[in-house]
Homo-oligomer: A and B are copies of this chain.
Amino acid sequence: MMFYQRNLQVATGRRGTYEITREIQAVVTAGEIETGLCHVFIQHTSASLIVCENADSTVRKDLEEFFARAAPDGDAMYQHRTEGPDDMSAHIRSVLTQTDLVLPIANRRLALGVWQGVFVYEHRYHASSRKVIVTAYGEKSD
């Protein structure tokens, strides 16, 4: 049983979703975990993590529309607006989604469903990159 922890720097840029499934699998592979779990954590409060349908990109477009309506940018009710109209809405989107995810590992692979992908969801209009910590743990193969 062991822990294998690596830091990722995920280039984001504009508001939207950025798939990191392959990068996470690479950590699992490097850690040689046969059966176990993989934890993913984003060190930010205005970007977050989601597991989402990864085949049809209109799903993530519709999701973006949903959040744009549910937590409008520049809402008159926000007191926290020093960094711009996308600041407080980004924090709300972060709280409604995930800061951490735990994914199963079986036979050295992330045991995701056929249509599941893991995404960093950038909620700010403009960002450069986001820090993600991946920790794979479990039983090593012989």
Contact = CB atoms under 8 A, between A and B. Distances in A.
A51 interface: yes
Contact of A35 (B5, B45, B113, B139): B5
A77 B62 contact: yes
A59 to B, nearest CB: 5
Interface string A24-66: 0000000000011101011111100011110010110111011
Interface of A: 1-3, 5, 35-37, 39, 41-46, 50-53, 56, 58-59, 61-63, 65-66, 69-71, 77-80, 82, 88, 91-92, 94-104, 106, 111-116, 131, 133, 135, 137-139
Question: How many chain copies does the complex carry?
Answer: 3
Contacts of A77: 62, 65-66, 69
